[in-house]
Amino acid sequence: MKLLIVESPGKIKKIKSFLDPNWQVAASIGHIRDLPKKEMGIQVEDAKVKLQYINSPDKIQTIKSLQSTAGHADEIFLAMDMDREGEAIAWHVGLVLGKPNWPKIKRIAFTEITKNAILKAIDNPRRVDADLVNAQQARRAVDRLVGFKVSPLVWAAKDAGTSAGRVQSVAVRLVVERENEIRNFKVQNYWKIKANTSPDNLPENNAEGNHASLDFWSELIALEGKSLVSSIEDGKEDKQTIIHSKEYAEELLAKFQAGSWTVIAESKEVQSKNPYAPYVTSTLQQAASVRLKWNSKKTMQVAQKLYENSAITYMRTDSPVISQDALVMVRDYIKQKYPKEYLPSKAYTYKAKSNNAQEAHECIRPTDVNKTPDSITGLNKDEMDLYSLIWKQFVACQMAAARFNVATIDIQNGPGLFRAVGRQMLFDGWTRLTGSISQTTKDKEGGDQDDENGDEPLLPEVQKGDNLILNEIKSSEHKTKPPSRYTEATLIRTLEKYGIGRPSTYSSIMENIKRRGYVKEEKRKFYAEPVGEKLVDLLIRSFQDSWMDYKFTANMESDLDKVAEGELDWNNLVIGFNDQLDAKVRNTQFKPRQFQSIEARSNTETEGGVSANSSSEICDKCGKPMVQRKSQHGAFLGCSGYPNCKNIKSMSTKPAKAQSNTKTTSINESPDLPSKDIQESLRPVKVKKSTTKTPRTTRKKTSE
């Protein structure tokens, strides 16, 4: 019997359908081990970082089942996801299966759940990638250090929240700074001037003054050689100007009406608009936010279902690279379904914008492009909507460019320079499929800066030096607008722009900052909450030039990538960060209450004569920890944020009793992984008993 172990049980049915009856398929259901909840779990000895892992209590039965099944298997294939998190899960699963099973273990990975992809992976097994595992452990350690060493500062401050996170706090900073920009913004009035003109040398049939087919609008873009703007930028007073009042606008109107209109430049050119790259995680989340009005959590949940059902490739990626087989498949489809001019002579190639992208990964695409949105079956409405987005983006990315005839006319009138631009679509290209030249429907929601419509008014034939006839001139009042509030789409786009976070973290970041009350979301826009502003103010005072700095955070992501590539020792990265963090904490201007340990703080609290003890529950109203309390009516769970939050929950005595009898295993080990073979990378570890009660853990950890 052969055993294949995956992360998600949702993949089991589909994978089993591709394999013969000699195979068993099981799932780890995500992580099965993690650092302890109430202890740091990190030690540094002899310039080596040691992480203390414990078996997750809610995975005890899963571990026992995997161990039992593995004992009867002749070969064991660890088929977790191909990202760092998946590699670490594979490593942990291999460890808990035990030394007798190590010679049987092989590591495989695939980016799509199809028969060919799985069989190919089985035929090409490898060892656990030590560098990827170390990168995940380094990220986990750095996040844990921030959470445990900085969170006491947050607790000691009034109304500053419940935690600090290496990435989530930086995301909150973006929202808070945007809030301050909006709050401090001062509205300014400005005026625009537009003129409607016609060529002076009219054809004879238009001599009566019928200019309807030849007139066109132009807009004032410069005065006295200075660019006309809505608000003058600092230091550019000699290059920019503004029409600041109605009186000034009327004065200019009178001057232009009395002046002459002369064409000083005209140009015509054919412009091409290439298709956009296929989706990666961040752009898929942005597109779903705009077009489907979904949050990132829902987008990733639906994408996960599509992946498990073999409809799309792996949905956590920052690389737009397309495999050669997929290129052949999509170009063949375009050749069959569209006229020949819609297939470019050479395939488009795409490269990630971020220097830190994992180029070994592939874009998000349909596994079979012939399964069109109209023909694919077995999907519910949400899955169909997201699949349609992914399918269209992928096919369009290999279609011919759209072409436009663009004409520009510059007109001089005294001190004013007017400009008219006309654009006509000559060939729709890839927009024949998408229906728009914009990647999304609203630029301010994270789309690219393109007009929604492909056509603008056609301009008449004129030559340099031609005189024009003024038909109408008018001014219009406008007001400057503050920066737009972040939506999930634009916040994710900004995080990606700065290189902060990774594809697997964006959704969790959005959920964490909302759940913990740092920001609120109204009509899909983010507003900074007072607690979020207090948190950022507190952290900026001490860590502005450290982990709260955008560049620092992006550089940390780059360093983690270097660890994954084997270019940087993860021990040095973690130790260096820890030393710097300790120095910052010691010198902080805001001193907590003697830096209480998390365990000391959470084990026992007393409020109003009601005794309280820690629990693993999180308040579903404000996100703070729930604590066990006793009153004259018995035990119950109450929010630690009382009296601001008065949420309570009943306690079941049976689970409590079961928990008290549960003994968890604490596994101390050096995380260094030998790279010779799988047996060495799964070497035995020292085991000791621990009486620590460990709460439930989740599949992926993104921040403390």
Task: Give me the percent of the chain exceeding a pLDDT of 90.
Answer: 63
In angstroms, the CA 492 to CA 505 distance is 10
In this structure, are residues 33 and 41 in contact, taking their beta carbons and an 8 Å threshold?
no
In angstroms, the CA 262 to CA 246 distance is 26
Q: Which pLDDT value is given to residue 22?
A: 95
pLDDT band at residue 505 under the 50/70/90 scheme: confident
Average pLDDT over residues 104-113: 93
Angle, CA 133 vertex, CA 504 and CA 13 arms, to 5°: 60
Average pLDDT over residues 562-585: 93
List, in order of start, the domains of the chain with CATH numbers.
2-128 (3.40.50.140), 136-185+486-586 (1.10.460.10), 189-274+402-479 (2.70.20.10), 281-396 (1.10.290.10)
Range with the poorest average pLDDT among 149-158, 248-257, 279-288, 633-642: 633-642
Q: Which pLDDT value is given to residue 358?
A: 52
H helices then E strands: how many in the chain?
A: 20, 24
Contacts by 609-617, CB closer than 8 A, 24 or more apart: 610/638, 612/638, 612/640, 614/38, 615/695, 616/37, 616/694, 616/695, 616/696, 617/649
In angstroms, the CA 87 to CA 427 distance is 47
DSSP 3-state helix, strand, coil percentages of the chain (rounded to 5)?
35, 20, 40
Nearest CA to 421 among 434, 430, 410, 429? 410
Q: Which pLDDT value is given to residue 593?
A: 43
Whether residue 655 is preceded by a cis peptide bond, meaning omega within 30 degrees of 0, is no
Range with the poorest average pLDDT among 107-121, 484-498, 525-539, 648-662: 648-662
pLDDT tens figures, 265-297: 999 999 999 999 999 999 999 999 989 999 999
**What pTM was computed for the model?**
0.77
Average pLDDT over residues 134-150: 93
Average pLDDT over residues 483-508: 89
Name the 3-class secondary structure at 510.
helix
In angstroms, the CA 635 to CA 626 distance is 13
Give residue for tokens 């000895």. 45
Residue 276 tokens, joined: 């956009």
Q: For residue 126, what are the β-bridge partners? A: 107
pLDDT tens figures, 591-600: 544 333 333 3
In angstroms, the CA 233 to CA 231 distance is 6
In angstroms, the CA 555 to CA 547 distance is 10
Average pLDDT over residues 364-375: 96
pLDDT band at residue 671 under the 50/70/90 scheme: very low
Q: Does residue 584 register a pLDDT over 50? A: yes
Kindly state the DSSP code that residue 10 receives in the 8-state scheme: G
Largest CA distance in the chain: 101
In angstroms, the CA 90 to CA 505 distance is 19
pLDDT band at residue 44 under the 50/70/90 scheme: confident
Contacts by 240-247, CB closer than 8 A, 24 or more apart: 242/188, 242/190, 243/190, 243/191, 243/192, 243/193, 243/475, 244/188, 244/189, 244/190, 244/191, 245/189, 245/191, 246/191, 246/475, 246/477
In this structure, are residues 685 and 667 in contact, taking their beta carbons and an 8 Å threshold?
yes
In this structure, are residues 454 and 425 in contact, taking their beta carbons and an 8 Å threshold?
yes
Range with the poorest average pLDDT among 132-141, 206-215, 330-339, 403-412: 206-215
Q: Which pLDDT value is given to residue 181?
A: 96
Q: Does residue 674 register a pLDDT over 50? A: no
Kindly state the DSSP code that residue 14 receives in the 8-state scheme: H
Q: Does residue 451 register a pLDDT over 50? A: no
pLDDT band at residue 629 under the 50/70/90 scheme: low
Q: Does residue 612 register a pLDDT over 70? A: no
The DSSP H or E segment spanning 233 is: none
Contacts of 416 (CB under 8 A, 6+ apart): 193, 220, 222, 223, 252, 255, 256
Query: 99 vs 642, which has greater pLDDT?
Result: 99
Query: 156 vs 452, which has greater pLDDT?
Result: 156
pLDDT tens figures, 165-183: 999 999 999 999 999 999 9
Q: Does residue 27 register a pLDDT over 60? A: yes
Angle, CA 151 vertex, CA 670 and CA 594 arms, to 5°: 100
The per-residue pLDDT of the chain, averaged, comes to 83
Q: For residue 253, what are the β-bridge partners? A: none
pLDDT tens figures, 53-99: 999 999 999 999 999 999 999 999 999 998 899 999 999 999 999 88
Average pLDDT over residues 535-563: 91
- 350 catalytically annotated: no
Provide the 10 A C-beta neighbour count for residue 63. 19
Task: Tell me, rounded to whole angstroms, the distance of Cα 86 from its chain centroid.
Answer: 18
Q: Which pLDDT value is given to residue 439?
A: 62
Q: Which pLDDT value is given to residue 87?
A: 93
pLDDT tens figures, 255-268: 999 999 999 999 99
Residue 557 tokens, joined: 């992501």
Q: Does residue 224 register a pLDDT over 70? A: yes
In single-letter form, the type of residue at position 402 comes to A
pLDDT tens figures, 117-129: 999 999 999 999 9
In angstroms, the CA 693 to CA 618 distance is 16
Point out the catalytic residue in the list 190, 276, 314, 387.
314
